[in-house]
Chain A
Amino acid sequence: MTYLQAQNNAVMDYPRRDASDKLRGRTKYTVDQGGLETLHAVLVRSEVASGKIIQLDAKAALEMPGVRGIATSVDAPGSHGLGIADHPIFADGHVRYHGEPIAAIAAKTRRQALEAAKKVVVKIEASKPNLTMAQSLAKDARLIHPDWEDYEILYDGAARGGNIAWEATVRRGDTQAEFDRDDITVVEGCYRVGRQNHVSFEPRAVIASFEDGRFHVITSTQVPWTVRHVTAKVLEIPESHVRVTVPPVGGGFGLKFDCSLEPYAAILAKKTGQPVSLINSREEEMLTCLCRENAEIRLKSAVTKDGEIVAREGTVLMDAGAYGGEQVFLTTMTAHTLGGNYRLGAAKIASQAVYTNTPPNGAFRACNGVYNTFALERHTDEICKAIGMDPVAFRKLNVVGDGSLGATGQVFEGDVLGPMLDRMDVLISKDSPAEVDTSEYLYGRATTVGTWFIFVGPSAATVNLNADGSATLVTSGVEIGSGTMMQSLPQMVGADLGIHPDNVIVKTADTDASGRDLGVGGGRTTVSIGAASTAACAEVRDKLFEIASELLQTATNKLVLVNGRVEIAGMAGSGMPIQTVIAEAEARNGPIAGSGAFTAPGTPAMPGCAAGHFIDAIDIPVFAVHDCEVAVHKETGKVSVLSYRVVQDVGRAINPRAIRSQVQGGVVQGMGYALSEEITINDKGCIDQDGFETYKIPSVGDVLPIDLDLFEGAPSAGPLGTKGAGEVPILNVGASIACAVANATGKKVNELPLTPPRVLELMSEDSRSLDLEHIQSDWEKNVLG
């Protein structure tokens, strides 16, 4: 099959095969599994945010009815992390956040485990917690990790110090020289966002057992290989002693991109000799979720009167919580999200993961980009106001295009954002502006742009061709709901092998069966696993053609795979069923299989301008243009979204219906972030929102249909030109709504979410400006190195 044929055959609105069981309640998620012999575990968690453990006594708990085992820090000596190993799974003598696990108990029933947990004696000498980044960065701040210099370094090259767990910086060009020019306008602004809880409907959950000297971990995760690695690291055992398998996952959004409960269950399984199930309660999910981090941002730009951005400086503080975790990695993203969208002259950008005595944060759909895009787009509108330029015209003038430099000096390929803005013009022109009653409402509209990327990296795939002509795809991919495993991969493999996607069996993730993989997230599955699968198919195809070439007395380059047959190109019916070729191959050499691998293609950045980054340049940038209209109620401050339009760069849409579904869902999740999902942390360091009553995610009454235009044809290293489409839809929702509210109210909108009280406060003040005094206007004073 030629490349062009594969492209065309892969494109379809292929329905997902898991829908039927999900609609019957038959799908067995991790929370639905476990047999009669399975024990139930609970975690004993700290009820203070900071302090020293002076007594931990579990004897009485161990004697409670039904209890089979208890684990504490002595059972898990290792620490884990990204960049630095700063995180023990049990508090190691010090507690650093409210909710930190101190002990784990397994009993015959969950109720027995909960009763026993009450008998664990924990005495903590509490100390005053640092609950905000400003507190942690104060000159006399208490160190949350006094021994930070002694931690194992897992990734070299970043500046660290005090309560700054990690710092990533960009220095490209001489910003000061540009700011000193007398023909420019300087615009400066501060922005702040809160945390967002993923609220995946299936909580984090695991069932672990110890079988034949190895651990078997069944878990609701996006990253089976990370679970394998971290479990082994904290137990200080070889990674090969851990097998991870993954049932269907009931929602991820990045929450399950880190190892969380798995090691506790594994330890207890070995101790008790029985399988152990550990499932977070909803309250635990709300209070200890690896939320999208709260962040504080200062931006300063030098712009000419013609609208050229000659210099930009930006500092982003990302609240890591008590342990560095994924925030360390996510500091990398700032260079590409704040440094994306627009062509810049000189640039200095810093991103710091800051320790606080709060629950650790993590990755969440379009991680880091969502709030940086909010800040950048608000800042852009403030620039436009300062120089008197139309915001859309400014964007058309400045968005990155073919040959533009990114913040780290990477050269972008292709004109994408500019044409997408033109496409948005067309989309907007199809409808009249929404009508509002101006006696009650203020009307606002905004168009924003966004840049994110596909997180590539290693993936592996094996394709086994079966005697009946079907194929079995073996990867570490996980179906988290996006449909990648159920739709795009079978479509691609089916197209490559000339069989229907129904005839592509997709093996669920099993680290004993499949090659290493970075996991499902960052929009990478279709691209990375897809590319590995395509490579595996190529090997299968070569083997088939080698045999068929002899059988058909035709050169291999004249053969194609189509409709389950090997055919001579252009001569339908000239060949033979694929089963015939497989049978011949088995007789000669054995069954046909192919293996494939993929990793980051590697895009060059300017040498020496970036420090502390895990990714210096982005291999596959993805772009989005959003537009919305809002009405702001003058009396209540309630923001209603009247229309929402998206032009999204998808590379190539192989399942347009599935993408539409992802965009609708992603934008609505973004509306929650922009308008209602607010997390506050009380003076005990505990998150206030402990359930659905207090944390308001959008319901059906809060949403509207998204008007979508898929932009195809942008450069991509993905198979068939694809880019992951599920991550990006949330990227500039907060930005678009905030800019529209600013246009409606005429006020500076510097914070999210825009809850009615916050909007009312905004409208009631004559002039409101957020000043984050702990971030210096002089950029160099903020950075360590």
Chain B
Amino acid sequence: MAIRLTINGEKQVFHGDPRTSLLEVLRDTFRLTGAKDVCGEGFCGTCNVHINGEALPACLRPIGMLEGAEVTTIEGLSPMGTFNAVQAALEKHDVVQCGMCFPGLVMTMSKFFETNSNPSRAEIKSAMTGNLCRCTGYELIVDALASIAHERGLVQ
């Protein structure tokens, strides 16, 4: 079966079992390994990608349901040499540790900041709830993300 979709702006065709998860297709077929396979059941958020403009876990999406979909992965989020505001804040505040959870977190929070450019700390935490991390203890990530609004002069 052939599934046609757009990944990071390029038209792609997947030939195979339509039950295959998007995550498996991204990692194994297209060698886009930025999205990580951590829990496999939609709990940790590390495989989050943008599907038709929403940040969603790729592990729970069968490729057969994505005919014609627009998918953006962490590799396609910002051109090499540039960072979006979320990536820039996380780098500047030096909060990355093992790093496995960050691709998914960046995808979630990038989409969140598109819809809320001046979030409160509580709103940031609420948006992050579906993204688990085992290293950082979260708070310094929240500090980093809260700085985005500060630096834009949009402090609540």
- A19-B139 in contact (CB<8A): no
| A664/B129 contact (C-beta < 8 A), A19-B91, A27-B99, A28-B33 known | no
- B33-A25 in contact (CB<8A): yes
Contact of A25 among B73, B90, B97, B139 (CB under 8 A): B73
- B95-A282 in contact (CB<8A): no
| A residues near B38, Cβ cutoff 8 Å | 201-202, 282
A248 vs B40: C-alpha distance when bound (angstroms)? 22
| B residues near A660, Cβ cutoff 8 Å | 140
Which bucket holds chain B's interface residue count?
Answer: 35 or more
| B residues near A19, Cβ cutoff 8 Å | 90-91, 94, 96, 99
| A residues near B137, Cβ cutoff 8 Å | 661, 664-669, 698, 703, 706
User: In this assembly, does B30 line the interface, its C-beta being within 8 Å of a C-beta of chain A?
Assistant: no
User: In this assembly, does A155 line the interface, its C-beta being within 8 Å of a C-beta of chain B?
Assistant: no
| CB proximity of B42 to chain A, nearest CB, Å | 9
Among B62-70, B100-108, B148-156, the one that faces the other chain is B100-108
| A residues near B129, Cβ cutoff 8 Å | 699-701
| B residues near A704, Cβ cutoff 8 Å | 139
User: In this assembly, does B46 line the interface, its C-beta being within 8 Å of a C-beta of chain A?
Assistant: yes
A741 vs B38: C-alpha distance when bound (angstroms)? 33
User: In this assembly, does A691 line the interface, its C-beta being within 8 Å of a C-beta of chain B?
Assistant: yes
User: In this assembly, does A29 line the interface, its C-beta being within 8 Å of a C-beta of chain B?
Assistant: yes
| A23/B97 contact (C-beta < 8 A), A281-B40, A701-B129 known | no
User: In this assembly, does B98 line the interface, its C-beta being within 8 Å of a C-beta of chain A?
Assistant: yes
Q: Which of B34, B80, B94, B132 has the most CB of A within 10 A?
A: B94
Number of residues in A with C-beta < 8 Å to the partner? 55
Contact of A23 among B96, B98, B126, B128 (CB under 8 A): B96
- A705-B139 in contact (CB<8A): yes
Binary A-proximity of B126-150 (CB < 8 A = 1, otherwise 0) = 1011011111111111100000000
- A661-B103 in contact (CB<8A): no
A250 vs B36: C-alpha distance when bound (angstroms)? 10
User: In this assembly, does B125 line the interface, its C-beta being within 8 Å of a C-beta of chain A?
Assistant: yes
User: In this assembly, does A693 line the interface, its C-beta being within 8 Å of a C-beta of chain B?
Assistant: yes
Contact of B94 among A250, A480, A657, A669 (CB under 8 A): A657
- A200-B134 in contact (CB<8A): yes
A368 vs B12: C-alpha distance when bound (angstroms)? 52
Contact of A700 among B43, B106, B128, B134 (CB under 8 A): B128
A622 vs B10: C-alpha distance when bound (angstroms)? 54
A401 vs B93: C-alpha distance when bound (angstroms)? 37
A699 vs B34: C-alpha distance when bound (angstroms)? 22
Nearest CB in chain A to that of B87: its residue:
A23
| B residues near A666, Cβ cutoff 8 Å | 137
| A residues near B27, Cβ cutoff 8 Å | 32
- B100-A23 in contact (CB<8A): no
**Interface of chain A residues 14 through 52 with chain B (CB within 8 A):** 15-16, 18-20, 22-29, 31-32
**Interface of chain B residues 34 through 56 with chain A (CB within 8 A):** 34-41, 43-44, 46
A interface: dominant SS:
loop
A664 vs B141: C-alpha distance when bound (angstroms)? 11
- A25-B132 in contact (CB<8A): no
Nearest CB in chain A to that of B127: its residue:
A700
- A29-B39 in contact (CB<8A): no
Contact of A22 among B40, B44, B96 (CB under 8 A): B96
A20 vs B99: C-alpha distance when bound (angstroms)? 10
- A282-B40 in contact (CB<8A): yes
Contact of B33 among A32, A200, A249 (CB under 8 A): A32
- B98-A691 in contact (CB<8A): no
| A282/B39 contact (C-beta < 8 A), A482-B97, A666-B137 known | yes
User: In this assembly, does A253 line the interface, its C-beta being within 8 Å of a C-beta of chain B?
Assistant: yes
A483 vs B140: C-alpha distance when bound (angstroms)? 15
| CB proximity of B99 to chain A, nearest CB, Å | 3
| A692/B41 contact (C-beta < 8 A), A664-B137, A701-B129 known | yes
Q: Which of B35, B80, B100, B102 has the most CB of A within 10 A?
A: B100
| A199/B142 contact (C-beta < 8 A), A31-B36, A249-B98 known | no
- B98-A250 in contact (CB<8A): yes
A621 vs B37: C-alpha distance when bound (angstroms)? 38
| A residues near B75, Cβ cutoff 8 Å | 24-26
| CB proximity of B95 to chain A, nearest CB, Å | 7
| CB proximity of B115 to chain A, nearest CB, Å | 18
User: In this assembly, does B74 line the interface, its C-beta being within 8 Å of a C-beta of chain A?
Assistant: yes
| B residues near A668, Cβ cutoff 8 Å | 136-138
User: In this assembly, does A13 line the interface, its C-beta being within 8 Å of a C-beta of chain B?
Assistant: yes
| A201/B46 contact (C-beta < 8 A), A664-B140, A665-B135 known | yes
User: In this assembly, does A251 line the interface, its C-beta being within 8 Å of a C-beta of chain B?
Assistant: yes
User: In this assembly, does A564 line the interface, its C-beta being within 8 Å of a C-beta of chain B?
Assistant: no
A198 vs B38: C-alpha distance when bound (angstroms)? 13
| A residues near B132, Cβ cutoff 8 Å | 692, 697, 699
A691 vs B59: C-alpha distance when bound (angstroms)? 14
**Interface of chain A residues 758 through 778 with chain B (CB within 8 A):** none
A249 vs B97: C-alpha distance when bound (angstroms)? 10
A661 vs B135: C-alpha distance when bound (angstroms)? 9
| CB proximity of A691 to chain B, nearest CB, Å | 6
| A residues near B97, Cβ cutoff 8 Å | 251, 481-483, 661, 665
User: In this assembly, does A582 line the interface, its C-beta being within 8 Å of a C-beta of chain B?
Assistant: no
| A residues near B83, Cβ cutoff 8 Å | 20, 23
User: In this assembly, does A658 line the interface, its C-beta being within 8 Å of a C-beta of chain B?
Assistant: yes
Nearest CB in chain A to that of B130: its residue:
A699
**Interface of chain A residues 483 through 500 with chain B (CB within 8 A):** 483
| B residues near A483, Cβ cutoff 8 Å | 97
Nearest CB in chain B to that of A671: its residue:
B137
- B139-A24 in contact (CB<8A): no
**Interface of chain A residues 673 through 703 with chain B (CB within 8 A):** 691-693, 697-701, 703
| CB proximity of A712 to chain B, nearest CB, Å | 21
Interface on A for B, CB 8 Å cutoff?
13, 15-16, 18-20, 22-29, 31-32, 198-202, 248-253, 281-282, 480-483, 657-658, 660-661, 664-669, 691-693, 697-701, 703-706
Further 19 A-B residue pairs, CB within 8 A, beyond A202-B98, A666-B137, A700-B125: A15-B91, A20-B91, A25-B74, A25-B75, A31-B36, A32-B33, A201-B98, A201-B101, A201-B134, A202-B36, A251-B134, A282-B38, A661-B140, A665-B134, A668-B137, A700-B129, A700-B142, A701-B129, A704-B139
Q: Would you list 19 pairs from A and B whose C-beta atoms are within 8 A, ordered by A residue?
A: A23-B90, A25-B33, A25-B75, A201-B38, A201-B101, A249-B98, A251-B100, A282-B39, A481-B97, A482-B97, A661-B94, A664-B137, A664-B140, A665-B136, A693-B43, A697-B134, A700-B138, A705-B139, A706-B139
- Sorted nearest first, the 7 A-B pairs with minimum C-beta distance are A25-B34, A481-B98, A22-B99, A25-B74, A668-B137, A201-B100, A664-B137
